[in-house]
Amino acid sequence: MMELQRLNLKNKLTCLLENCKSLRELKQIHAHITTPPHLFTTDRCFLISRLIFFCTVSQSGSLTYANAVFRFVPRKTLFIYNSMIRAYASRILDPTSFQPLILYKQMLFDDITPDCITFPFVLKHCVNRVDEFVGRSVHAHVVKFGFLSDVFVQNSLISLYSQCGSVGIARKVFDEMSNRDIVSWNSMVIGCLRNGELDMALELFRRMKKRNIITWNSIITGFVQGGRPKEALEFFYEMQISGDDMVSPDKMTIASVISACASLGAVDQGKWVHDYLNRSGMECDMVIATALVDMYGKCGSVSRALDVFKAMKNKDVLAWTAMVSAFALNGNGREAFELLLDMEEAGVRPNAVTFTALLSACAHSGIIEIGRRCFDVMRHAYHIEPQIQHYACMVDILGRAGLFDEAEGLIRSMPMEPDVFVWGALLGGCQMHRNFQLGEKVARHLISLEPLNHAFYVNLCDIYAKAGRFDHVKEIRALMKEKGIEKTVPGCSMIEVDGVVHEFSVRDSPQVLMTEIKHVLTSLSDEMGRRVNMIPSLE
């Protein structure tokens, strides 16, 4: 009878823990666990371990309470240690904490052997801390305790070394795996992309027999962020014709593809993606709508950007800033400033990026007074201290207007050391207004800041050439040759015809370049022919 009563109580308390809704209920259950005299010690240990687990994983629980209970458990088990390590390792908001490592060390002192659950969470904590040194020590323990062939542990090691920038070690772990799952492949691909190893990521991607949405999103986003947006678009189209019904574009895919279109200035493909979004019934949330505003703005279609912006129900500061940037990129400075006033009326507080866009708009539009006003409003009304990019924009405004004394005075008043962008903005104004004396001084200062940057030598040569000082041009070119400095980045132009992006580079051979130009001209001719045929006859 007593045995049955004990089992019933144990089962009842276990059930109560699983259905607990609040910390208050949890404390009541805890009291029931500790008070009944007929519960065995093993029963109490089991229930306490479940209670700690509940505290660490449930929203109704409390890590502080779990830690208090943990300290008074006389005989801690592997399950309890794993629960606590998992809880602390998952707290990404506090990566500086050593608590998971302290618990792991305490577990070893208690002569408890870690298992395949322990190591992934300890390694996750090392990933959050970006701590390769400690991670290598944990890796040694993985080998020592015989878990090197466990796929979950190996995946965690790949994430660790990738996050810490040691892609070579991550690849070695990957290559030595006898059994890989899709997480292994995705982790390695993502690690390569994060560290700029785009070609290695592509090689792994092509070898994958099975891909999921994480794979496709990673490769598309990685190539967009890695400066290869044209290939990112090709991946998107490949994804659609892959024939895998289980994989379909999600919001992240669409946002990345829109970003690729923005980078390329491919407005036709951007429109297609926008139409696809509407046809698919996918929700156009704040992130996607903001990406659309940014894309249309960068492609020069301000009216479309404004249409998307106006259709947004709840606009955050990023959405407002994207629209301000769209005006800025297209020289609509007054409209950008009016949008700031609308933003204030809507109760949205602009941030430092918003004012960078506003000042950039003023620079492109040549409206000096509004630029000065924005600079003052930022400091005095919003208490945003100007950063170096704001000073660069303001110097650009003054330099374009030929106000060199004011621009130099602003540079001297900067609380930080002016960088190449600030001096570059002033140099641009000098070249525009043919102020060769100041331009020479600024260009030589830029060369002293970055002696290996070919662009500053080229700018100085340009200043001397326009001033008719050709002996100095020869002198600078000889200096470049002596230092082995040459223009390494090829000139590149792109044009979109019928939704296809054509790219021209000075590295192309004349034959290749002429063939590509003929193809584009033929496409343009066909397009003009179609449009002419659409015009009604006057006869």
pLDDT digits (tens, 9 = 90+) for 2-50: 555 555 556 666 676 666 666 677 677 667 667 665 555 566 677 777 7
Q: Is 500 helix (H, G, I), strand (E, B) or coil?
A: strand
Over residues 258-265, mean pLDDT: 90
Ramachandran angles phi, psi of 440, nearest 5°: -60, -45
Q: Tokens representing 420?
A: 């190449």
Both structure tokens of 438: 């100041």
φ/ψ region of 366 (left if φ > 0, alpha if ψ in -120 to 50, else beta) reads left
Share above pLDDT 90 across residues of the chain, in percent, rounded to a whole number: 46
Q: Which two tokens stand for residue 92?
A: 């990404």
Q: CB under 8 Å to 441, separation ≥6 — which residues?
A: none
Flag the least confident range among 56-65, 107-116, 233-242, 453-462.
Answer: 56-65
Residue pLDDT, tens place only, 317-339: 999 999 999 998 888 888 888 89
Mind giving me the DSSP string for 369-432?
A: HHHHHHHHHHHHTS-----HHHHHHHHHHHHHTT-HHHHHHHHHT-SS---HHHHHHHHHHHHH
Structure tokens, 103: 């618990």
Q: What are 186-201's pLDDT values in tens digits? A: 999 999 999 999 999 9
Residue 95 pLDDT grade (very low, low, confident, very high; cuts 50, 70, 90)? low
pLDDT at 8: 59
Bridging pattern class, strands 492-497 and 500-505? antiparallel
Q: Residue written as tokens 């998971």?
A: 100
Confidence of residue 103 (pLDDT cuts 50, 70, 90): very high
Mean pLDDT within 384-405:
93
| All residues at 6 or more sequence positions from 191 whose CB lies less than 8 Å from its CB, including other chains | 158, 159, 161, 162, 163, 167, 170
pTM metric for this prediction:
0.74
Q: How many CB atoms lie within 10 A of CB 331?
A: 16
Which candidate, 132, 136, 131, 70, places its Cα nearest to that of 103? 70
C-alpha distances (whole Å) from 228 to each of 199, 238, 503 are: 11, 16, 12
Burial class (CB within 10 angstroms; exposed 0-12, middle 13-18, buried 19+) of 4? exposed
Per the DSSP assignment, residues forming a β-bridge with 376 are: none
Q: What is the mean pLDDT of residues 365-369?
A: 87
Please return the burial class of 96, using the count of CB atoms within 10 Å of its CB with bins 0-12, 13-18 and 19+: exposed
Q: Determine the pLDDT at residue 69.
A: 80
What does the mean pLDDT of the chain come to? 83
Query: What pLDDT, on the 0 to 100 scale, is given for residue 167?
Result: 95
Task: Give the mean model confidence (pLDDT) for residues 387-402.
Answer: 93
pLDDT of amino acid 265: 87
Provide mean pLDDT across the span 441-449: 90
**What pLDDT score was predicted for residue 61?**
60
C-alpha 269/C-alpha 290 separation (Å) is: 17
pLDDT-based confidence at 153, cuts 50/70/90? very high
Segment 107-113 shows an average pLDDT of: 93
DSSP assignment string, 171-237 = HHHHHT-SS--HHHHHHHHHHHHHTT-HHHHHHHHHH-S---HHHHHHHHHHHHHTT-HHHHHHHHH
Taking only the tens place, the pLDDT of each residue in 119-151 is: 999 999 999 888 999 999 999 999 999 999 999
